[in-house]
Structure 1
Amino acid sequence: MSDKEKVEELKNEGNVALQSGKAQAAIDLYTEALKLDPENHVLYSNRSAAYTKQNMYAEAYDDACKTIDAKPDWAKGYSRKGASLAFMNRYEEAKACYEEGLKYDANNKQLLNGVADCKKHLTGPAGSQPIGNPFTGPGVMDRLSKDPRTKTWLENDPSYRTLIQDLQTDPSKLATSLQDERVLTTLGVLMGIDLNVQMANGDPSSTQNSKVPSSNNPPTPKQNGAAGSQHDSHKKAKTESKAEPDVNLTEAVKLKEEGNAAYKKKDFETAIDCYTKAFELDSTNISFLTNRAAAYYEKGDQESCRKDCQKAVDVGREIRVDFKLVAKAFARMGTSYAKDADYKQAIYYFDKSLTEQRTPETLKKRQAAEKAQKEQERLAYIDPDKAQEEKNSGNECFKTGDFPSAIKHYTEAIKRNPDDAKIYSNRAACYTKLAELALGLKDCDKCIELDPTFIKGYLRRGTILKGMKKYTEAMTAFEKAHELDENNSEAKEGVTSCMMAQRMNRSDPEEVKRQAMANPEIQQIMQDPAMRMILEQMQENPGALQEHLRNPEIASKIQKLLKVGLISIR
């Protein structure tokens, strides 16, 4: 059974398993098929569906991305990716993915339904007056850093940054956060209004929180009595405390900049020391850890690099930082493993990174690691002793006429010792016996490439070309064998038989021309403007031939044209 047939069989078995509710069995079958055909977009799509059934949405997303990479114009890939994103509550991204798929299939029902479903989640129940998440979008952090009401919190209060990140990733938390005056102030900055004032004055749009005091209009003792006065004094002290610059955060940023400068100068020890001190002052900023990991990487301390990356991921998950920062940490970990030639682990962490954020740079690194892993496995598989055993087994099969089995043994021998020219020659002989001339010719070419002095490679190449009725190329091969061994009878007979075949074919000028022009060397000669001019001169003035033959290069080309029968001298 060929690999193609095996892949089809595994895919069908996986489909049956998935339809029967056996999602894990389906995943295993699709995975086995992908080992044989790693570029099959249908297999990635089907496995994505199986992962979804198992509630393994990150894996489903990754396979959906691979589906799109393999076949960008296939709508189902976008349907799979959109579904996995929706299951992870990333509705904005899911909607964009569905809409991207509609560019290739505008009437696809799954994509259209996906867009509609995402819109429902993004806009809320019917009859409401929803707005988009005001905490996301371009320029949000820039506006907060410029407004004096939020600038101090942003620069000096780490909990405020965490609060904003939470609201960016999960807007549903807004309803439970409105009692925090910082949230109301931030909304006011982003929406261009002062919500604190509106709510203090009884804005009907939020009766539940209308009792929240405004920082601009604090309740007076007359309104709330002594308790109100105490509350007002306490809040004033608290606000003043927040307004004070956080020395630790300021110093941490300064240390980071010093670390960056040292890193650029390749002073990695100093850079590591600066990043370490910065993280001690601000343990919520994981960029200090990823920067320190980069310094460890350049220093050659890959273990410390990976520890910092993992710590950055753990801290980032805990405080819910932007997924792009987590993706960066995973990618750096993958790069570190690739540096140590541990490509399996490198691919694992690149995949983790791509699940968080799919970037061309990380995808390229993953592909390079996969290629390096295959080469590593190929080299590890080389074993000349086992290659000789397989070659001997192939020879025994060849003698008994079992050519398919001989090919199998020779192929294994080539994997074990890919630089042995003789094995390619032996396999070429098997292909010739089975009339697989194109495959045999390819093996002969490889044989000659590995050992240009191996006569049998030229003899077998000549025999195959003769069988393909490419007499000119066949004669060249036999002549090369004759040059290597003037006493080789097979080479002499090959040259003679090719010449006779050419003479017989010259009764049909069109056939002569067709065969001659199939030779790349002849094509190159006939396409040379200088040679065409010479041939025209020879036709008009036969005496010009003698003059041109004095030039060794031109004489060689004319002889080749004479040999294939494209020109003749009377």
Structure 2
Amino acid sequence: MSTEADKFKAEGNAFFASKQYKEAIGAFTSAIEVSPTPNHVLYSNRSGSYASLKDFDNALKDAEECININPTWVKGFTRKATALHGQGDLVGAKDTYEEALKLDPTNAQAQSGLNAVEEAIKNEAAADGTTPDLGIGKFLQDPNLFAKLAGNPKTSAFLADQAFIQKLKQIQATPSLLNSEMVSDPRIMQVIAVLLGLDIELGNGGPGAAAQESAEPNDTPMPDAPQKETKKEPEPQSEPEPEPESEEVVNKKKADEEKALGNTDYKARRFDAAIEHYQKAWELYKDVTYLNNLAAAEFEKGDLEGSIKTCHKAIEEGRETRTDYKIIAKSFGRIGTAYHKLGDLTKSIEFYERSLTEHRTPDVLAKLRAVEKEKKQKDVEAYIDPEQAEAAREEGNAFFKAADWPNAVKAYTEMIKRAPEDARGYSNRAAAYAKLLSFPEAVRDCDSAIAKDPNFLRAYIRKANAYFAMREYNKVVDTLNEVSEKDKDHQHFNEIEALRSKALGARFQSQDGETEQETLDRVSKDPEIVSIIQDPVMQSILGQARENPAALNEHMKNPEVRKKIQLLIAAGIIRTR
């Protein structure tokens, strides 16, 4: 950061410490504006100030900018998580704290924040009368619930009872019914035990059997005397007849068989056959997974519009049946991928974002970032127009001549957008920035112009003038040395040398109240001057110059020697008269 930016940052920190958050925001904003390069700490500090004022929208924007500048800095993630928590996005805050802990597993602030968010999630679930994700109610939300029950001998018979199946679906829709239904129907506990992998047994009578047995009167008389035992032949044991499977269970099994066949064809890239099997699976049993598989096969076949349509159907059906949000997120993500392949980047971004809203995964996040970058580049390329760029340049020149510097900046900015490879746009805008005393911006534009055209001499000279205005005299001289080497025809020789002399003179000029000798003594202690004087090569050159002043001109042909001699002349160590 520049000295000025450091000053504003220190002011912001002081305001923040005294809880003057609005003033802190103003100071950090000034620091950001004058900082020569984007600084993640400044955005982090301003994010914290916004959060202290409960302005979580702006706090989130600054936290995200902080992460963009430095994606390895943990505090940026904790700032973002704090803002998301403040907005009420508990799931987003939880994910962000977990990202912070991946960067630094020992970070106490991230761990404390994560604990607070998880507690808030539990409290919110309790307040809604729902079972939190970590409770047993979560297992009843399993989209493969009935298939699992059908495959377990302890629960398969339950599915013959359509009333019981309806009861399970009611609990899925309204988790708060779970506790009361567990009391009234012990089969619910058996279902949960199977889903949890526990081994428990119910009584033989089914639901309510124990209560019926205890209610029967015990009217069998006790014998008065021992009776002679009669030996009975053991009755032959017969195998119990299996309960018939319900139609739903049968259909599920058939659907899974079709899905397996579809998977085999999919892997062999027989997509038409795979599509046919997945469609049959869906017709047999309404499991959204089959639709997702169908959409994947349509995508690979090249039927992108069909894949999008199937995914929309999967999302609609999934909402109605309360399907796991991770499965719905897959549908949204595949729509995003299909639109990307179709070239509709705007819709691709929209559906990737909707997928992340359902469930954040690194894969979809990486795809989103890639599409955003691609769209930004295409938007830039689509805006390029040389004719419009020239019109904007002429408009900027007119504003410049009329001393309307803000509109000149605006016109030159339009020129840069229309012709980003034309160095003149950056150089002209640098000149307008300099008139507005925005010297750091002028330097950055000069650097951009030089990057586009390393032989654009005017950009170097404008950069040197901006450094002079900022009192960065060493940088003035360094920039002038660069342009001197490129000015082969000496077109700008006089201008360069005048500015160099001006910069060197300003560096070593007398301070208020100093005598000439005091100035000379101070300058003689300058580290760079001391280094030059102690250089054995320079000592030899200076010795020759004392005996033969004309020899100095010969040595001045060497750029490095010339630079050092000019410094000594400017400092008054060498006198030319």
**Aligned pair partner of 2:191 in 186, 189, 199:** 186
**Aligned pair partner of 1:103 in 112, 115, 138:** 112
Residue deviations 1:33-80, cap 9 Å, x none? xxxx9xx986665999xxxxxxxxxxxxxxxxxxx9783352772561
Contact persistence 1:327–1:352 (CA under 8 A): yes
Deviation, structure 1 residue 367: 3.8
Matches of residues 222-301 of structure 1 in structure 2 within 5 Å?
Answer: 239-242=243-246, 246=250, 249-280=252-283, 282-301=284-303
Which of 492-501 and 68-77 deviates more? 68-77
User: SS in structure 2 opposite 1:119?
Assistant: helix
Unaligned runs of 5+ in 2: 1-21, 23-46, 61-75, 94-108, 217-239, 509-519, 542-556
Contact persistence 1:391–1:410 (CA under 8 A): yes
Residue deviations 1:341-377, cap 9 Å, x none? 3232223323332333233433443344344333333
User: SS in structure 2 opposite 1:239?
Assistant: coil
**Aligned pair partner of 1:386 in 388, 400, 422:** 388
Deviation, structure 1 residue 298: 3.0
Matches of residues 361-440 of structure 1 in structure 2 within 5 Å?
Answer: 361-440=363-442
How far, CA to CA, are the matches of 1:71 and 1:541 in structure 2?
58
How far, CA to CA, are the matches of 1:276 and 1:494 in structure 2?
78
Which of 439-448 and 168-177 deviates more? 168-177
User: SS in structure 2 opposite 1:303?
Assistant: helix
Contact persistence 1:123–1:132 (CA under 8 A): no
Q: Which amino acid aligns with 1:103?
A: S
Contact persistence 1:165–1:322 (CA under 8 A): no
1:447 and 2:449 matched: yes
**Which position in structure 1 is the counterpart of 2:42?**
none
Q: Which amino acid aligns with 1:352?
A: R
**Which position in structure 1 is the counterpart of 2:154?**
149
Which of 374-383 and 74-83 deviates more? 74-83
**Which position in structure 2 is the counterpart of 1:167?**
171
How far, CA to CA, are the matches of 2:78 and 2:374 in structure 1?
20
Which of 159-168 and 379-388 deviates more? 159-168
How far, CA to CA, are the matches of 1:291 and 1:159 in structure 2?
31
Deviation, structure 1 residue 259: 3.3
Q: What percentage of aligned pairs have identical amino acids?
A: 29
Deviation, structure 1 residue 144: 4.8
Deviation, structure 1 residue 460: 1.6
Are residues 153 and 424 of structure 1, via their aligned partners in 2, closer, same or farther at CA, if it must alter by over 3 Å? farther
TM-score, scaled relative to structure 2: 0.59
Deviation, structure 1 residue 413: 2.1
Deviation, structure 1 residue 428: 0.8
1:495 and 2:518 matched: no
Which of 431-440 and 70-79 deviates more? 70-79
How far, CA to CA, are the matches of 2:248 and 2:241 in structure 1?
11
Name the larger-Rg structure. 2
Matches of residues 13-92 of structure 1 in structure 2 within 5 Å?
Answer: 45=57, 71-74=79-82, 77=85, 80-82=88-90
**Which position in structure 1 is the counterpart of 2:208?**
200
Are residues 504 and 400 of structure 1, via their aligned partners in 2, closer, same or farther at CA, if it must alter by over 3 Å? closer
Deviation, structure 1 residue 167: 3.3
**Which position in structure 2 is the counterpart of 1:465?**
467
**Which position in structure 1 is the counterpart of 2:336?**
334
Are residues 293 and 493 of structure 1, via their aligned partners in 2, closer, same or farther at CA, if it must alter by over 3 Å? same
User: SS in structure 2 opposite 1:349?
Assistant: helix
Matched positions, count: 433
Q: Which amino acid aligns with 1:456?
A: R
How far, CA to CA, are the matches of 1:171 and 1:420 in structure 2?
64
1:119 and 2:126 matched: yes
Contact persistence 1:425–1:447 (CA under 8 A): yes
How far, CA to CA, are the matches of 2:168 and 2:376 in structure 1?
45
User: SS in structure 1 opposite 2:420?
Assistant: coil
Q: Which amino acid aligns with 2:88?
A: R
Residue deviations 1:4-28, cap 9 Å, x none? xxxxxxxx9xxxxxxxxxxxxxxxx
Contact persistence 1:398–1:430 (CA under 8 A): yes
How far, CA to CA, are the matches of 1:325 and 1:105 in structure 2?
25
Contact persistence 1:424–1:443 (CA under 8 A): yes
Deviation, structure 1 residue 113: 8.5
Deviation, structure 1 residue 305: 1.3
Q: Which amino acid aligns with 1:455?
A: L
Matches of residues 453-532 of structure 1 in structure 2 within 5 Å?
Answer: 453-499=455-501, 501-502=503-504, 505=507, 507=520, 508-509=522-523, 513=527
Deviation, structure 1 residue 307: 1.1
